[in-house]
Structures are given as structure tokens and as C-alpha cells.
Structure 1
Amino acid sequence: MKLRKFNKFVCLIAAMSTMAACSGNTGTTTKSGAAAPKPVQLKFWGGVPPESGPQTVIDNWNKENPNIQVEYVRYVNDDPGNLKLDTALMTGQGVDLYVSYYVPRLEKRVKAGNAQNLSEMKDYDIDGKIGADAKDWKIDNKYYAIPTKKNNYFMWLNKDAFDQAGIAIPDQWTWEDVQAHAKKLKQGDRWGFLQTLLEFDYPMDGSIEASGGNVKADGSSNLGDPFAKRYLEIMYNMMHTDLSTPTMGEQISKKMPVEAEFLKGNSGIFYGGDWIFRFANNLKDYPRKFKVAFASFPKVAPDQQSFKVMGGVGDAISINSSSTHKEEAWKFLKWYADGGMLPMAAGGRVPASSAVDQNAVLKLLTSGAEDTYDLDSLKKVLFDTKKDTFQLKLEQQVIDARKEEYQKYLTKAQTLDASIERMIKRHMDFLQQNKK
């Protein structure tokens, strides 16, 4: 009797041990019964709102790659937002990949040792996939990021207003033409021309870059380029003589949502870029009754021999040199560049890689509002391979100083000559203080 009780006790202990062993393994098991390794967790920092495409991209990747899971972390692409990212990089706060939107910011991150040298990677041809514009993102002749997006800046046109005014959709044109057309298009509450304050500088920079860059060969400032000066004069006349565009003071004080005003039909011409599509395709919040056509970016005047267009490629993604998962991050980055980012096109971000189907891009770019666009003019500006582009490399302190001076001119607080003289002096002071 005692032996039978002892045997039952042994069986009970064995059964309990088996149950404990089974309940203790709460993770995924392999066919052999061993626990599967936990997925690698990557953090990807970017400046685009998650709902504008990044979250869909991340969800697609995570579904296809259960062993490498990515979390998207949004930072605002302004000075405080970039400081937040730089602080996270310096203090090791979980950054595996991140996007730089401005070459000087990437350069600082490279010099701080926070970007992996991608030129050492031999299984992705950045020049071949992204094209010649990629070289603008080289630091010391090496790639520390893959630029993933085509930067497209062009003119949005109210085609109905152009047709009513008897103006043909422009092809090769100038800012003098913009002034003339805007004067005709100005009617009642409708402005002839609108643009954001951010893009306001780019026509000046296009002239400066075409004439040798921000600094001349002799080391002096090139901010007084005559065509950059001419552009400011055109804008002054449009504001104060033609009254075809809001004054600088009005636009600043009212914080005018110019893209929304254009989409309401309150402007004949709007200078923006492909990022406007995320508003233009939203016909619920931005309903419109007119068709949108597109025109290339204008040079300043007919006698300008060379001009560059702000654009090229951007959204440059780096791998943090301190990441403990560089191999997995590199796998994600290649996938993202070569088509993984395609859902971002619906928000206006056109993939730069030649591996991406351009027809698919165009379909997503105009999704939900195809009939409201003149597609022929869109294709012409979007896939133009002949334009000479540049990446802005002027330091932020100089950009801010220049803005302060030209705004004084445009608000009648300072003459044009005095503004140009002050721009040059402040640039030269900066160069002197930052000699390498």
C-alpha cells in the first residue's frame, strides 16, 4: 500500500514539473522546442507626421519582417526638433536610423561621429540608384546617408484662371513673366501670386549657386549676386506697386496659410513643391472647383545665362554609428530606398531610387483627386531630368541674417542697396568668425 502511494506521489511530481516547464516558456518556440530569439528592435527618427505615410511604411516592413521590428519616432524638422534629435544621438537615447533634411545638419552629425560611413557598404550603388544629384550629400567625398526623395519645387497654377485670362501654361519662363501674369490674374479677393516664407529665398539661392556659390573664389560673399538682387526688386514691385501678392508684413502678421488660400481658388499662381499634394488630394478639407496645372521653376530674367533650381534629392537617411544593430538597419534602409517608401508618395514624397516605378508614383501622388490635375503638365515638371539643381548649403545663421535684411527692404524700412550691403557685411563677419 505504501509503495502504491509513493508511486502516485512520484507521478504527481513529474506531471507538475512538466506543466511548470511548459508554462515557463511563454515565448515563440522553434521546431526543436527551443525559444526563438526576440526580434531586433530599431528606432527610426524622421520629421514627417506618421499619418502622412511613415506609419504605413513601418507597418508594411514589420509585417514582412517579424525578426526586425521598426518603431517610427517623429521629430519636428525645425531648430528645437533637430536639437532633440542631436541630443538623442549624443546621449544614446535609442536612435538607429534618422533623416537629415539639410546638408549642413548632416555634416555636423558626421563630424560629431553620429553617422555610419555608408561608402564602406558594397552591396548598394548609391550613385547608380539615386543618380548624379546624390553627390550633393557627400561629406568629405563619402556617403554617410542615402538621399531617398526627389525634391521637387515648381509652380502650381489655377488653370481655370489662366484660361480665363488668356494666358498659356508657361514652359520656359522668368520671374519677370511671373510678375506680368500675376498682375493680370489679380482680381477682387484673388491674389495673382502666393508663396510660403520658407521658399521665398530659393530664387536668390538659385542665382547665387549658378554664379559660383555662396563664397566667391577670392573668399568674399556672393550674396549680392545681381540676379538675386533683381528678384528682390521684382517681389517689392509685386507687393507695393502691382498689389498682386501680399506684402511681407501682411503675410508675417497674419501667418497666412498660403497653400490653403491657393487651394480655395484665392491665387492664380502658387510657388510650392510636391509636399502640397497631401493638402491638394484632400478634397474633403480643401474642396476646389478648378483644375491645377504646373509649370517649371522660372529663372529671374531673360538675360540670365545660367540658373539652378532648389531640389535634387533629399530625405537623407543615416545609420547611427553607435547603433548595435547596424546590419539590420542597413537591410531596412535599402528596402526603404528601393520601394519600401512608396506609400510616402501619397503625401508628396517622390522616391529617388531608379528601382521605383514612376507610374506607380504618379498614381499615388494624385490619388483621390486625379481629375483635378492637368497630368501632362505635372509629368513634365515632375520627371524633368534636364534641370540643373542644387542643395542649400548656406549656414542657418547666414540665412537668418539675410532674411532680417531683405525683410527690412520689403517692409520699406531700408533701401535695397543698404539691404544688400548689410547682407554681405554680416556674411563676411560670419566667415571671419568661423575660419577653419
Structure 2
Amino acid sequence: MGRKRRSGQMFLRLSVLLCLTVQAAVCAGCSVMGGSKGAAMGTELAGSGKIKLVLWGGVPPEAGPDAVVQAWNASHPGIALEYVRYVNDDDGNLKLDTALMAGQQVDLYFNYSFSQLERRIDAGVALDLSGFDDYDPDVRMGEDAAAWKVNGRYYGVPTKQNYYFVALNKEALEAANLPIPLSWTWDEMRQYARVLSRTYKYGLLQHLEPFSDPIDSLLTRVGYTDGSGHSRMDHPLVAHWLETMRAMMMDDRSTPEYGVQLTSKMPVEQNFLSGEAAMLNIGEWLFRSANNMKDYPRNFTIAFAPVPRLTEQEDDYVPRGGLGDVISIHPSSAHIAAAWEFVKWYADGGMLPMAEGGRFPASQGADRDVAMNYILGQQGPVLYDIDSLERVLHGRKTPNFVRSVPQPVLDLRIEEYEKYFLGVQTLEQTVGNMSRRHMEYLSDKR
């Protein structure tokens, strides 16, 4: 995995040199965008017949995008939207980055992490949206939107609320006399997993995307460096979380060994829904599969709990949250004004069919009740424990964080804790190496 990440970064660093002409075009285009929105759109449509917009995203077409495309095309007969799916992993993001740089038609695309957006801004393939004055994400999405600003500007519009949680087999907890947690620590999670693994193959499965969130939750609160500039990657609670996870893998056998999960590309969602595990640490994209009873039938109710914290005090806990699914416009698009119309339409309600896959709209212009109906469907009370779901969706703790750690730091961190989980270095070496390499990165950036 490390090689794939580094190859993607190398591609983007090299591509910056190729983007100088694109960046120049962006600067030139900013003055044009400041003019009349209607005039810009009229210029694009005049004498050209129907235009085509191409949107790239990471969600399977059948899980919402197809319905979005149909709704847009029905209401905008002069602008045909086409959706291209890329898988949101290292290879998929490299595929998108290559298309952005190679001149393929990519008018709009979704970014699923801050580091991806930042790299694309640096590569000159994300349009500065400050030239548009008819839509303000700060107003429409609220204060959480600002986490996606880069140097005070938006290069994409965040469109959905982020939700991260632990999905629970409610009947499994009831059989083990374990209550649905309202608030808990990773030590308590370990105890739950140990008990549940007596009956299930695994007490806990984790999606690898939010796997390291406990580290960022802690360091968002205490700071990634101390007052003297020393990295806090060697914080005692970081070490405690790593130790806890390895003990769950190797001693308790209540969660998969990291190497096994990595090499097998374990489909944790399907494993949880098939009844192989009693708990799953994941995000709102679980609904995409959990609502699909045809392909993923199950005979249990899903309940929900917050992600455990490392700290003992609830008041000290900063969970992951904020907004996501940031939609950007390629500055070399021939249809920038039309693309901007789509961004506003999508954010303010066009995205509602995406809610069936858990994508809850962030804009105040979208109907939240309709989104909830999409999420629950007709079988909602049968499929889900509604009380615990509403606590997760509507009882969100603030402040929260959007992961904004630079990609090289994410990479070095993963590389080091992979060695620990694979048994090739000690805990002390791991946190020491993470801290040292983090400080080297910070030094190189100065």
C-alpha cells in the first residue's frame, strides 16, 4: 500500500509542472466568472445545441448517481450529465488524477479527503470558486464548511454531513446482556469485542478508512506538536490505542489481524451484514449495503453507537465529523458556468437520492425529512434501531474534526503502525519512528 500511495504522490508532484498553463487559464478565467452568470451560461449554449457535463465520483451508479443523472437531465434538457465512477482507493484516485491531467473530459469530480483536494489544488486542476458570488457555502452549509477552505478560499463545495459510528448487531448485544453504548472508551470496546467473539468469528471489524481516527481525535484536541515543536505522535494515548488494537488482534482474537485484513482486502461490510461479526466501525456509507436486502440479506437489527474515545473524560473527546463529498470543477472545463449550476442544484437537493446510501445533505436548502425517508426506506423500523440511529445522526457532538492531515504524514504513520501490527517492530520503536518522521516532514516543509 505504501508504494501505491507514494507513486500517486510522485505523479502529482510531477504533474504540477505540466499544470502551469492550466493555472494561468484559471487566473484568466476568474475575471470572466465575476460577470453575469446568465451571460456566461448563454455564451456556452449559444449555437452549440445540447452540451455534455461529465461528473466523476466514487459511488456506484446504482447507489444514487443514476437517479441524480436522470433527475438533472429531465429538468435541464439543454445540458446532458454523464457519470463516471472511480473507486475511492489509491488506484482509483490515481485514475482520476490521470484523467484530470491528461485532458480527458472531467468537468466535475468529488474529493473524499482534504489531502486529495489539497493535492489537486496544487496541481492546478481544482477551480477557485471565489469568482462566483451567488452561492455561499458558509451560509448554506454552516460553519463546518470552512474546514474545506484552502488559504481562505473554496475550491469545491462540501455537500454532505459526515457520520462515523459503530454499527451493532442489536440481537447479539441483547443475547450477551450488553447495552447499546451511549458513550464509551476503547478499553470498553475491547471488553465488548472479547465477549461477543465467544459467539461470533469477530467481535469487531473495522473499515480501514476510519481505522486511525482515534489518533486524529486525540491530536486534534491536544495538538499535533507541543509548544517546542516536538511531534505528539508519541503521545501515551497513541501508544495505548496501538497496544489495545494489537492485543485485540493477537491476544483476544476478537478482531482480524491487520495483515490478514490488508492482504485479503476483507469486505468488512459484507462480513458484518452476513453475521460474521457483531460490531463494525465504519461511516454512513454502510447504508448503501445495509439497505440492499436483496444482495445482503440479514436477520438482525442494526443499532448504532458513537466511535469510542481514548480519553476518560467525555468533555475531552473530539470526534470525526464535519462535512464531506466536496465537488470541484476542473478549470479547463469548456462548460464552467453549466458545471456551477449543477454544483448548486446538487447541493441544494439534487443529491437527495444519494441519501439512500447514507449521504445526508449538508445544505439548508435540501429537505432533511426527505433525506431521512431515503435512508430508512419502507423497512426502516425493521432494519434499524431508530432511537440509536437518531442519536448518531442528530446528537452529533461538537466540536468535531475533518481529517486534514497531509498525505505524507498519513502515509508515514500507516507505514510505521503496519510494522507494529505485523510484528516487525516494537511499540516503542513505532511511536518513536512516527514522531521522528513527523518532525522530519515538518522540518522539510519550513
Q: What is the 5 A alignment of 1:281-296?
A: 281-296=291-306
Equivalent pair of 1:207/1:225 in contact (CA under 8 Å): no
Q: Which residue of 1 aligns with 2:31?
A: none
1:75-126, CA deviations, whole angstroms, 9 ceiling, x for partnerless residues?
2223333233333333432222111111122122223332222233222121
Counterpart check, 1:262 vs 2:272: yes
Q: Which residue of 1 aligns with 2:365?
A: 355
TM-score (norm 2): 0.84
* Percent of aligned positions that are identical: 46
Shift of 1:198: 2.5
**Structure 2 SS opposite 1:318:** strand
1:244-291, CA deviations, whole angstroms, 9 ceiling, x for partnerless residues?
222223323443222212112222221111101111111122221111
What is the RMSD computed on CA atoms of the aligned residues? Answer: 2.0
Shift of 1:37: 5.0
**Structure 2 SS opposite 1:421:** helix
Q: Which amino acid aligns with 1:319?
A: I
Q: What is the 5 A alignment of 1:375-390?
A: 375-390=386-401
Structure 2 Cα separation of the partners of residues 398 and 265 of structure 1: 35
Structure 2 Cα separation of the partners of residues 106 and 133 of structure 1: 16
Shift of 1:415: 1.6
**Structure 2 SS opposite 1:156:** strand
Q: Which residue of 2 aligns with 1:365?
A: 375
Equivalent pair of 1:49/1:74 in contact (CA under 8 Å): yes
Shift of 1:313: 0.7
**Structure 1 SS opposite 2:204:** strand
Q: What is the 5 A alignment of 1:130-145?
A: 130-145=141-156
Q: What is the 5 A alignment of 1:299-318?
A: 299-303=309-313, 306-318=316-328
Structure 2 Cα separation of the partners of residues 344 and 216 of structure 1: 41
Counterpart check, 1:394 vs 2:405: yes
**Structure 2 SS opposite 1:289:** coil
Shift of 1:368: 5.1
**Structure 2 SS opposite 1:241:** helix
Q: Which residue of 1 aligns with 2:332?
A: 322
Equivalent pair of 1:155/1:270 in contact (CA under 8 Å): yes
Equivalent pair of 1:281/1:368 in contact (CA under 8 Å): no
Q: Which amino acid aligns with 1:179?
A: R
Q: Which residue of 2 aligns with 1:297?
A: 307
Q: Which residue of 2 aligns with 1:404?
A: 415
Pair 422,37 (structure 1): closer, same or farther in 2 beyond 3 Å:
closer
**Structure 2 SS opposite 1:209:** helix
Q: Which residue of 2 aligns with 1:340?
A: 350
Equivalent pair of 2:311/2:317 in contact (CA under 8 Å): no
Q: Which amino acid aligns with 1:362?
A: M
Question: Which deviates more from structure 2 when the two are superposed, residues 256-265 or residues 143-152?
Answer: 256-265
Question: Which deviates more from structure 2 when the two are superposed, residues 136-145 or residues 115-124?
Answer: 115-124
1:142-187, CA deviations, whole angstroms, 9 ceiling, x for partnerless residues?
1111000111110101111111111111112111111111122222
Equivalent pair of 2:203/2:277 in contact (CA under 8 Å): yes
**Structure 1 SS opposite 2:252:** coil
Question: Which deviates more from structure 2 when the two are superposed, residues 135-144 or residues 299-308?
Answer: 299-308
Equivalent pair of 2:63/2:354 in contact (CA under 8 Å): yes
In structure 2, list runs of 5 or more residues that go unmatched: 1-45
Structure 2 Cα separation of the partners of residues 274 and 380 of structure 1: 14
Pair 189,299 (structure 1): closer, same or farther in 2 beyond 3 Å:
closer
**Structure 2 SS opposite 1:308:** coil
Q: Which residue of 1 aligns with 2:51?
A: 40
Question: Which deviates more from structure 2 when the two are superposed, residues 134-143 or residues 105-114?
Answer: 105-114
Equivalent pair of 2:319/2:397 in contact (CA under 8 Å): no
Q: Which amino acid aligns with 1:405?
A: E
Q: Which residue of 2 aligns with 1:72?
A: 83
Structure 2 Cα separation of the partners of residues 217 and 100 of structure 1: 33
Shift of 1:53: 1.1
Q: Which residue of 2 aligns with 1:55?
A: 66
2:283 to 254, 270, 273: 273
Shift of 1:369: 3.8
> Which one has a bigger Cα radius of gyration?
1
**Structure 2 SS opposite 1:380:** helix
**Structure 1 SS opposite 2:403:** coil
Q: Which amino acid aligns with 1:272?
A: I
Equivalent pair of 1:283/1:369 in contact (CA under 8 Å): no
Shift of 1:322: 2.1
Structure 2 Cα separation of the partners of residues 261 and 94 of structure 1: 37
Structure 2 Cα separation of the partners of residues 215 and 147 of structure 1: 28
Q: Which residue of 1 aligns with 2:234?
A: 224
Structure 2 Cα separation of the partners of residues 340 and 200 of structure 1: 31
Structure 1 Cα separation of the partners of residues 435 and 315 of structure 2: 23
Query: Would you say how many aligned residue pairs link Structure 1 and Structure 2?
Result: 400
**Structure 2 SS opposite 1:149:** strand
Q: Which residue of 2 aligns with 1:210?
A: 221
Shift of 1:218: 3.5
